Amino acid sequence: MSRKKETDYTLIVMLAVVAVIIASLTIGMISAMKNRRVAEPGTTPEQTVVVTDAPTDAPTNIPTDAPMEVPTSTPEPTPESTPEPTPPPPTPTPTPKPTNTPAPTATPKPTATPTPKPTATSSAHISATPAPLPVINLKHKGDPTDKMIAFTFDDGPNGLENGSTKTLLDGLRERNIKVTFFIKGMELDTHPYHKTLLKMAYDDGHLIGNHTYSHLNLKRMSEQEVFKEINKTNDIIEQITGERPVFLRAPGGAFREDMMAAVGMINVKWGPFDIGDSTGDWKKSHPNATTQDFEDYLVNAIVSKAQDGDIILMHDIIMTSVRAALRAMDILKEKGFRFVTVDELLLRNANENQTLSTTYIYTFMRQGDTRGLVDKK
């Protein structure tokens, strides 16, 4: 009797223990599921941005903010793009009108938002989703058969009221010359006046392009970092000017070609010659950089080499370059050149159904060239 009772008790106790175990397991599972559900959407942990050292391959005596174009700068004209491809110039239409009427559709976002991916660094999945071709609202349009040159200025805006960018803007306004600025996003955050300079440049009719945010080598970055570098700068520029850039110049011309379609901007390098060859205008630490000699040297380098269709790379962060550029413009004007923004130069030979490709790297555009022109649809 008492033994049976004992057994019963033992049984009851065991059952109770089992029940408790099952209950606690169930509770554990439920709360684990709950946690996971909470963690899933949107909580992708911030990708740690690998702060690569500024990959300046430039000689060590160059200050760190020296433009990166330098080392890689020798433009590599593609075989078919070398000297003068001379198809007959297109017959000039009597009334020059913009070849690119803006599409009726709302302006598509020029850059694709990267879909968050679980892994950050693999480049295997940038793939598919090419961004739609950007709509290019031509800033200016003149006679495409003119002898034309596009001056481009990188790494700014820089300086204050008497600084180099402001001096350039004043000089361009006096001459009624339009150029293209490739803006380094970070500069806009270093001083409020830099934003004013950008607005001034935009209002003066210059074309504003993107030169990334931090001016690092895009080829050494993950796709997420590349998108961030480009989009951040596009966002700031758009806030200030109201217009989202379409043209991009990668620092040093180093761009991840596997990402071009997805980024969806027009890539512009420079060419076919590089100012001063080994003595680029960026060399502000050059022994002669602040002397008249160096300025003269730059003026001569530009004037002696410039041809119709060239894209000339200079830096508005350096006063010597700014002065040299303005002087060179005066001489080139005498020689019959017209100064255009990059959009006009690159679209000079396009018909109204054509536009620029997001997967071609533009270096210069002679009369009659059709390289890099694609159908709009």
* Cβ at position 250, least distance to Zn ion in Å: 9
Contacts 24+ apart (CB under 8 A), 88-91: 88/368, 89/145, 89/367, 89/368, 90/144, 90/145, 90/349, 90/367, 90/368
Q: Does 155 participate in binding Zn ion (rule CB under 5 A)?
A: yes
CB nearer Zn ion, residue 114 or residue 251: 251
* Cβ at position 268, least distance to Zn ion in Å: 12
Name residues contacting Zn ion, limited to 251-270 (CB under 5 A): 251
Q: Does 281 participate in binding Zn ion (rule CB under 5 A)?
A: no
Helix (H) or strand (E) run with residue 201 in it:
helix 192-203
Q: Which stretch binds Zn ion (CB under 5 A): 12-20, 61-69, 103-111, 131-139?
A: 61-69
Cβ neighbourhood burial of 120 (10 Å; 0-12, 13-18, 19+) = middle
Q: Are 219 and 256 in contact (CB under 8 A)?
A: yes
CB nearer Zn ion, residue 251 or residue 309: 251
Q: Which stretch binds Zn ion (CB under 5 A): 107-115, 172-180, 250-258, 331-339?
A: 250-258
Q: Which stretch binds Zn ion (CB under 5 A): 27-35, 221-229, 248-256, 341-349?
A: 248-256
> Given the DSSP bridges, would you call strands 373-375 and 148-154 parallel, antiparallel or unpaired?
unpaired
Q: Does 65 participate in binding Zn ion (rule CB under 5 A)?
A: no
Residue in 281, 275, 314, 323 with CA at minimum distance from that of residue 155: 314
CB nearer Zn ion, residue 67 or residue 272: 67
* Cβ at position 318, least distance to Zn ion in Å: 11
Q: Which stretch binds Zn ion (CB under 5 A): 18-26, 149-157, 168-176, 187-195?
A: 149-157
* Cβ at position 282, least distance to Zn ion in Å: 8
Catalytic residues: 154, 315
The dihedral built from the CA positions of residue 224, 225, 227 and 232, taken in this order, carries a sign that is positive
d(CA 44, CA 319): 45
Pull the structure tokens for residue 194: 């830099």
d(CA 72, CA 53): 17
- How many residues comprise the chain? 377
d(CA 168, CA 83): 30
CB nearer Zn ion, residue 66 or residue 112: 66
Q: Does 67 participate in binding Zn ion (rule CB under 5 A)?
A: yes
Q: Does 229 participate in binding Zn ion (rule CB under 5 A)?
A: no
CB nearer Zn ion, residue 261 or residue 312: 312
Pull the structure tokens for residue 83: 């000297």
Residue in 136, 149, 132, 145 with CA at minimum distance from that of residue 355: 136
Q: Does 223 participate in binding Zn ion (rule CB under 5 A)?
A: no
* Cβ at position 211, least distance to Zn ion in Å: 6
* Cβ at position 34, least distance to Zn ion in Å: 50
Quote the DSSP letter at residue 271.
B
Q: Which stretch binds Zn ion (CB under 5 A): 14-22, 36-44, 146-154, 292-300?
A: 146-154
Q: Does 369 participate in binding Zn ion (rule CB under 5 A)?
A: no
CB nearer Zn ion, residue 112 or residue 314: 314
65, 154, 223, 369: which one binds Zn ion (CB under 5 A):
154
User: Interface residues with Zn ion (CB under 5 A)?
Assistant: 67, 154-155, 251
